[in-house]
């Protein structure tokens, strides 16, 4: 694997971990009304981070194909 492929692999792992965390927190949010607003804000924030990771992954993919 080259450096770009390694970075893609790591970003893929990070995306999967964030997706799992978002799902778990979403389940907690549904079960727990206390601090619901703050938890929803955190879930939204993590969703934005995942979108950025998705964008970075695609950019690396484009770089890999242009080499």
Region 7-28: mean pLDDT is: 92
28-65 confidence digits (pLDDT tens): 866 666 678 888 899 999 999 999 999 999 998 888 77
7-26 burial code (b ≥16 CB/10 A, e <16): bbeebeeebeebeeebeeee
Single pTM value for the model = 0.80
């Amino acid at each position: 694997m080259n450096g770009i492929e390694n970075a893609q692999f790591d970003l893929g792992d990070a995306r999967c971990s964030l997706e799992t965390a978002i799902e778990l927190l979403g389940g907690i949010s549904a079960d727990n009304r206390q601090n619901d607003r703050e938890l929803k804000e955190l879930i939204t924030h993590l969703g934005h981070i995942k979108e950025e990771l998705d964008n970075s992954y695609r950019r690396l993919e484009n770089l890999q194909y242009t080499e």
